[in-house]
Chain A
Amino acid sequence: MSTLTVDKDALAGAADTAPRNRGRDRGPRRPLWKTGLLIAGVFATIAVFFVPLFWLFSSAMKPHQDIYSWPLQWIPREFTFENFTAAWNSAPFDRFFLNSIITTGVGTALEISLAILCAYAFVFVDFKFKKIAFVLIIGSLMLPGHVTLIVNYITVANLGWLNTYAGLILPGIASAFAMFLLFQYMRTIDKDILQAAEIDGAGHIRRMLTIVVPLSNPMILTATLIVMVGKWNEYVWPLIVTSTADMRTLPIGLLFLRSQEGYSNWGVIMAGAVFVSLPMLILFFLAQKRIIGGLAAGAMK
């Protein structure tokens, strides 16, 4: 057993239970100057991450002359949304949004379905070659996109899927990380409940759908969120597999916008970056505990 097991409540993001013990109680009370120093460190940390993000949003809402002025204008003299309308009109962002939503939505649904089926089989069905299959699936985590890029492009081209949703979505539906998270979670389900159902005559499929899936809901949600973020942010595959503006997804739209507007219109480009980032930031602030808990669980086995 690892010393670093995460307790299951934190894993599932069940933060509504008792608050976690923050920090260790060690020795006597800290002297005041030390606490001051630590707080200063925390503020510095916040600044490192907050300032660039603040800069992103404030620049997106600045009128043109505020961006190209010196000394720097930290807070816009007047707030404007003209950068957003300019960005929206200079590239087909409505299509980019639609394509991102379709590829992320359908891709996530498919990947999570495969992950559930697969994790269920590994936990609840006996089979001789289980271990080999497991190693094969987890081992694919070591083969990232750039090693498989060229041949996948050839495969998709041969299937006639270039510049289609099928080509965008299907090569990415295989699931290793989400499968692993669900596998770890399903292992903790009490087998007695399933045995009782089996005695009542429920087959595997019914046991999976009526018992295991509902019980695994917290982790399914966590895995869904993590997979979703990954698909929304996907870059290199949509870049090579799509060839017309109406099939591009949002991150590729940013590249498009940059080459369109160059370095002379940062406000519009930052507005485009806000379009791409805002959905993920909102998702993160809504489901922070769940996303962090899931990723931490993956890291700590």
Chain B
Amino acid sequence: MRRDALLFGALIAPNLIAIIVFSYYPALYNIGLSFFEWDFVAPSPEWVGLENYTDLFTDASFGQVLMNTLIFTGVSVIGSLVLGLLLGSLLATKVPFTGFAQTMAFAPHMLPGAAVGILWLFMFDPNYGLSRWAFSLFGADSPAWTTTSDWSLWSITIAYTWQRLGFVTVICYTAILDLPKDLYEAAALDGAHGRKLFRHLTLPLLSPIIFFLSITGIIISAAQAFDIISIMTSGGPGTSSSTLSWMVYEEAFQKFDIGTASAAATVLLGILLIITYVQVRYGDKKVNYDS
């Protein structure tokens, strides 16, 4: 038994240490840093208490960053979920070319966000991009997507949703194929069909996967999706497409304002903890897991 304990420790130690050193320790240390003012260079950080937070929450542009994060995350997560369910059910029908469609849909998910960002930057080019062609079909001019503050947030949201959609579609498709057939036969005998069947049987059965895709979607898109923003708009013009993840980077590594950056990162951490709590608390109850 003692030997087993030693062995267990030795086997998990490398991974556990790496996780503690590069995930938990920095997350905690970051909270501490948010009470200081620092620029990476000064010999020691200067204690300022809650000043970084009061500055953040009295600054109108931080409100916009939070709003942008909410819109970007909400639209991309809900958008990809609704479209993904639709496309997933479409692919699950027995018609030709669904295999090829699945491959094509998933391909963007494999690409680096930087490549997706630069591709959409070109497509959104109002003079030479596909956007000009698409708008010309309706006799309209393409907006200057990435360079005007009315459209910049939408340009990154669309690009990111496009990249994520294939993943969500394929997961929904797999889940739909795994639905228990006998329940559908029973429901058909009871005369249930169409929309009613979808609402009362398919949707509840898919609820765990919908829940999973929402939670992971929020974590990934709220906290990451940084590459697309960095390549397409750099958070601009102004702060019109800045999200929390962009702001953390910009404050820390372009403005060298470590206090503000770590306070913003702590706000992000708080949001993620709430989401984690929701997942742990409701993940197994609200959704249907039983067989």
Within 8 A of B (CB), among A186-223: 204
Q: What separation, in Å, do the CA atoms of A2 and B209 have in the docked complex? A: 10
Q: Is the CB of A151 within 8 A of B106?
A: no
Q: How far is the CA of A137 from the CA of B12 in the complex (A)?
A: 10
Q: Is the CB of B114 within 8 A of A38?
A: no
B91 beta carbon closer than 8 Å to chain A: yes
> Which residues in B have their C-beta under 8 angstroms from that of A240?
249, 253
- B133→A72 contact, CB < 8 A: yes
- Dominant SS among interface residues on chain A: helix
Q: Is B77 an interface residue (CB 8 A)?
A: no
A101 within 8 A of partner (CB): no
Residues of A within 8 A of B162 (CB): 48-49, 52
- The answer to whether B50 has its CB under 8 Å from any CB of chain A is no
Whether the pair A150, B95 counts as a contact (CB closer than 8 A) is no
B145 to chain A, nearest CB (A): 12
Closest A residue to B100 by beta carbon equals: A46
- Chain A residue contacts of B180, Cβ below 8 A: 3
| Residue B48, interface by CB 8 Å | no
Q: Which parts of A51-84 form the interface with B (CB within 8 Å)?
A: 51-53, 55-56, 59, 67-68, 70-72
Q: How many residues of B contact A (CB 8 A)?
A: 110
Q: Is the CB of A151 within 8 A of B5?
A: no
Q: A174 near B125 (CB under 8 angstroms)? A: no
B108 at the interface (CB under 8 A from A): yes
| Interface segment, one of B17-25, B52-60, B149-157 | B17-25
1/0 per residue, CB under 8 A from B, across A231-272: the answer is 011011001100000000011101100100001001001101
User: Interface range on chain A: under 10, 10 to 19, 20 to 34, or 35 or more?
Assistant: 35 or more
Distance (whole angstroms) from the CB of B237 to the closest CB of chain A: 15
Q: Which B residues touch A232, using CB under 8 A?
A: 112
**Contact status A300-B174, CB under 8 Å:** yes
List, in ascending order, chain B residues with CB within 8 A of A131's CB: none
Considering only CB atoms, which chain B residue lies closest to A138 in the complex? B19
Q: Does A5 contact B (CB under 8 A)?
A: yes
B95 and A42 contact, CB distance less than 8 A: yes
Nearest CB of B to A33, in Å: 13
Q: Are B118 and A148 in contact (CB under 8 A)?
A: no
Contact flag A150-B5 (CB < 8 Å), given A52-B162, A239-B230: no
Indicate whether A120 reaches chain B with its CB closer than 8 angstroms: yes
Is B171 a contact partner of A133 (Cβ separation < 8 A)?
no
Q: Known contacts A3-B289, A26-B184, A117-B12: does B208 contact A146 (CB below 8 Å)? A: no
B177 pairs with A140, CB closer than 8 A = no
Chain A 18-29 against B: per-residue CB contact (8 Å), 1 yes, 0 no? 001111111100
Q: Is B42 an interface residue (CB 8 A)?
A: no
Q: Which of A174, A176, A251 contacts B114 (CB 8 A)?
A: A251
Q: Are A126 and B11 in contact (CB under 8 A)?
A: no
Q: A22-B177, A125-B8 are in contact. Are A277 and B111 (CB under 8 A)?
A: yes
A160 at the interface (CB under 8 A from B): no
Q: Which residue of A lies closest to B170 (CB)?
A: A292
Q: Is A281 an interface residue (CB 8 A)?
A: yes
Return A300 CB to nearest CB of chain B, in Å: 7
B281 part of interface (Cβ distance < 8 Å): no
A248 to B258, CA, bound (A): 24
Inter-chain CA distance A23–B187, complex, in Å, is: 17
Question: Would you give the 0/1 interface string for B152-190, flagging 1 where the beta carbon is closer than 8 Å to chain A?
Answer: 000000000010001100110011011111001000100
A292 to B109 Cα, complex, angstroms? 10
Interface string of A141-158 (1 = CB under 8 A from B): 111111111111111000
Report the bound CA distance from A171 to B18 in whole Å.
Answer: 7
Once A42-B101, A147-B272 are accepted as A-B contacts, the answer to whether A67 and B231 lie under 8 Å apart by CB is no
Indicate the member of B11, B179, B290 with the most A CB atoms within 10 Å: B11
Query: Is there an interface contact between A137 and B16, defined as CB atoms closer than 8 Å?
Result: yes
Residues of B within 8 A of A174 (CB): 15, 18-19, 22-23
Considering the chains assembled together, what is the distance between the CA atoms of A126 and B226 in angstroms? 41
Bound form: Cα–Cα A28–B97 in Å: 22
Complex Cα spacing A63 to B237, Å: 31
Determine if A8 is an interface residue (Cβ-Cβ < 8 Å). Answer: no
B120: nearest residue on chain A (CB-CB)?
A52
**Inter-chain contact A128/B269, CB cutoff 8 Å:** no
A151 near B95 with CB under 8 A, answer no
Q: For residue B272, which residue of chain A has the nearest CB?
A: A142
In the complex, whether B81 has a CB less than 8 A from a CB of chain A is no
Specify the chain B residue showing the minimal Cβ separation from A144. B223
Contacting pair B29 A151 (CB below 8 A): yes
Q: Is the CB of B268 within 8 A of A143?
A: no
Residues of A within 8 Å of B40, CB to CB, are: 154
Q: Is the CB of A299 within 8 A of B110?
A: no
> Which of B7, B8, B178 meets A130, CB within 8 Å?
B8
| A150: contacting residue among B97, B216, B258, CB under 8 A | B258
Kindly report which residue of chain A lies nearest to residue B193, judged by CB atoms.
A27
User: Shortest beta-carbon distance, A168 to chain B, in Å?
Assistant: 13
Q: Which residues of B contact A283 (CB under 8 A)?
A: 110
Beyond A38-B95, A143-B27, A292-B106, whether A24 also contacts B7 by CB under 8 A is no
A-B contact sample (13 more), CB < 8 A, given A38-B95, A296-B174: A20-B177, A56-B115, A115-B15, A118-B12, A118-B14, A126-B8, A127-B4, A130-B8, A143-B24, A145-B226, A147-B269, A151-B25, A251-B114
Give me the 3 closest cross-chain CB pairs, A-B, nearest first: A151-B26, A174-B18, A121-B11
